[in-house]
Amino acid sequence: MTDTPAGELQPAFRSDVTVELVKHSASDADVLFAARVSTVGEQSLDELGKDPERSKGLINYLMRDRHGSPFEHNSMTFFISAPIFVFREFMRHRVGWSYNEESGRYRELQPVFYVPDESRKLVQEGRPGKYRFVAGTEAQQELVGRVMEESYAAAYDAYQKMLAEGVAREVARSVLPVGLYSSMYATCNARSLMHFLGLRTQHELAKVPSFPQREIEMVGEKMEAEWAKLMPLTYAAFNANGRVAP
């Protein structure tokens, strides 16, 4: 995004999504702590990590037999920047998630738009629920980039024209497309994240295959990488048990 001499904002185009883990209280010990109240009652946190093999075994058992609630006693907050169409899919995840997104009523939306890069397969084959994507031709790649950029620029120009004439932001934003970037905080726990990852990523270890849109999968992969560092035993058990949320 750049300023012209007249101060008008020019569109910027991106192909990525960003995910930052901004806050967390999440570890494998949180799972053990919650689970062992069933058999031992209250116990000191120091005791928890003393027998790593037992800890690993307990987490794997909870995952395998789908005892899910011990995986809820933790919290991760991500700051995510992605196109609006990704957030529309994301917010279908209702359980164990909290969201706060930037407002198109209270602030002027910035002209940052999504244009897929050459790694994004453009052509869809197959039937609903079982699509396969293949790379587009160079001509298709060029067309997608050019048409998207022109169309985004025209939409943002219309938005600015209305704002300049005093139209409210909440009215003027109607012309903006779902390829516009937005940002939000999303807070979850390991159980709700696993449910999300089971549906929104493709993985060779998944017992139940899913066919997510690539752009939400890109967000999922980044969240997964952060979570794997915080809760390695839980993460390993999730993969070992077919990536099905307990």
Residues with catalytic roles: 200
- To the nearest 10 degrees (0 to 180), the angle between helices 232-240 and 214-230 is 130
Q: Smallest distance from the beta carbon of 192 to ligand FAD, in angstroms? A: 6
**Do residues 104 and 170 make contact, with C-beta atoms less than 8 angstroms apart?**
yes
Compute and round to an integer the Cα radius of gyration of the chain.
Answer: 22
Q: With CB under 6 A as the contact rule, which of the stretches 32-40, 133-141, 155-163, 204-212 interacts with ligand FAD?
A: 204-212
Nearer to ligand FAD by Cβ, of 131 and 171: the residue is 131
> How much of the chain is helix, strand and coil, in % rounded to 5?
45, 20, 35
Other Cβ atoms within 10 Å of 122 Cβ, number? 15
Q: Should residue 210 be labelled a site residue for ligand FAD when binding is judged by CB under 6 A?
A: yes
Other Cβ atoms within 10 Å of 142 Cβ, number? 11
Q: Smallest distance from the beta carbon of 222 to ligand FAD, in angstroms? A: 17
Known binding-site residues for dUMP equal 89-92, 101-105, 173, 200
Known binding-site residues equal 69, 89-94, 101-105, 173, 189-191, 195, 200
Q: Should residue 68 be labelled a site residue for ligand FAD when binding is judged by CB under 6 A?
A: no
Q: For residue 161, how far is the Cα from the chain centroid?
A: 33
Q: With the CA atoms of 10, 13, 14 and 18 taken in that order, what torsion angle do they form, in degrees rounded to the nearest 10?
A: 30
The binding track of 69-108 with respect to ligand FAD, each residue x by CB under 6 A or -, is: -----------------------xxxx-------------
Residue of 179, 219, 224, 225 whose CA lies nearest to 81:
219
Kindly state the DSSP code that residue 108 receives in the 8-state scheme.
P
Residue of 215, 182, 226 whose CA lies nearest to 78:
226
Name beta bridge partners: 82: 182
Q: Smallest distance from the beta carbon of 17 to ligand FAD, in angstroms? A: 17
Question: Under rule CB under 6 A, how many of the chain's residues touch ligand FAD?
Answer: 10
Q: Smallest distance from the beta carbon of 159 to ligand FAD, in angstroms? A: 28
Nearer to ligand FAD by Cβ, of 180 and 245: the residue is 245
The binding track of 183-202 with respect to ligand FAD, each residue x by CB under 6 A or -, is: ------------x---xx--
Binding site for ligand FAD (CB under 6 A): 92-95, 195, 199-200, 210-212
